[in-house]
Amino acid sequence: MKPLIIALALVLAAPLPAHAHPWKPSDLRDLARQHGIRIGSAVDIAALRGEADYRKVLDREFSHVTAENAMKWESIEPDRGAYTWADADALVEHARRNDQRVRGHTLVWHNQLPAWLTSGVEDGTIDAAELRKILRDHITTEVRRYKGKIRAWDVVNEVVNDDGTMRQSIWLTHLGPGYIADAFRWAHRADPHAKLYINDYNLEWNAAKIETTLSIVKDLQAQGVPIHGAGFQGHLGIQYDYPGDWANVMRRFADLGLEIAVTELDVRMELPVTPEKLATQADYYRRALTDCLSVKVCREFTVWGFTDRHSWVPGWFPGQGAACLFDENLAPKPAYQALLGVTKA
């Protein structure tokens, strides 16, 4: 008996042969842990509440969550002064119970604003001074409510146009460019520990947008404004080339002292789905994670929904879809397997 135990001990203690893969992650949480980042997903609150299989995959795979819509202004204050926190609260509580960190999305945006606000600005019943106060109260109220529970906030979302000019939102038009600095300052005051981000799409590759966004960050830093991160949404499509310079772009923001996150990754395709398209999609997901991991301060890699059952893509791009890591039945796609195969550089 004894020699057998000794032999077994020797086998177990022997070093792995050089070609053996020492670690194969069991799921995305495991992968994220090994790489020292968080892998997240946007969450559809109705699905979270109503679909047990959705919850199961979300909690098994993801260690970070973002509300797809529930923290946007029209969701939390549909009528002036009447707050509807139930959905956002539910997500934050769910995350707490499941060891998930939370990205708050989003404080200042030109979209999904409540009608009372946009119509009030349009008909002049809300003037610039009041609008500024409304924005300050909105940021303060929402950030304070989740103080200590939100790892990072998308403070300003999509403030730059694709041609590099500033977006003519109601904020810029009525408050002037200083609204961005104000928003960061108000958010910081309400939760000094939350990481505060500027977030945008096409920032992966669009030179004009990249340059303007970099100069916004430098300008804010020069004024001592608390800005901590740059978020790359990453809404990609296989009909376009993969943004091959993305890692370098991330590094340019990291060089300014910011942390980096991929905040809304998805990779859409023209339907119908084919094995070739799924293979290309898998490659895009793999490259995106590899790019993030190549930048030391890339802390979070979040997908904009994890299942094709609930994705914004078909509703916005007719004829396109299948953009997520899992199919409608929550079966993992090649893209999921490709992520699991991403090893340390």
Residues that bind ligand G3I (CB under 6 A): 68-69, 111-112, 157, 201, 233, 264, 312
Q: How many angstroms separate the CA atoms of 106 and 152, rounded? A: 10
As measured in angstroms, the least distance from the Cβ of 14 to ligand G3I is 51
As measured in angstroms, the least distance from the Cβ of 90 to ligand G3I is 15
State whether residue 267 is helix, strand or coil.
strand
Residues with Cβ within 8 Å of residue 172, at least 6 apart in sequence: 159, 166, 179
**Residue 158 designated active-site:** yes
Handedness of CA 27, 68, 276, 239 (dihedral sign): negative
Alpha-helical runs (H) found in 98-160: 115-122, 128-145
Q: How many angstroms separate the CA atoms of 216 and 108, rounded? A: 15
**Residue 204 designated active-site:** no
Angle at 165 between CA 162 and CA 171, to 5 degrees: 105
Burial label for 163, CB within 10 Å (0-12, 13-18, 19+), is exposed
The partner residues of 38 in beta bridges, in order of sequence, read 300
Q: Which two tokens stand for residue 2?
A: 């004894």
The partner residues of 269 in beta bridges, in order of sequence, read 321
Q: CB nearest ligand G3I: which residue?
A: 312
Torsion angle, alpha carbons of 159, 145, 194, 54, to 10: -80
Q: Which two tokens stand for residue 152?
A: 């990072």
Q: 61, 68, 142, 158: which one is catalytic?
A: 158
Q: 61, 68, 204, 264: which one is catalytic?
A: 264
| C-alpha to C-alpha distances, 104 to 115, 149, 270, nearest whole angstrom | 22, 9, 31
Question: Which residues does the annotation mark as catalytic?
Answer: 158, 264
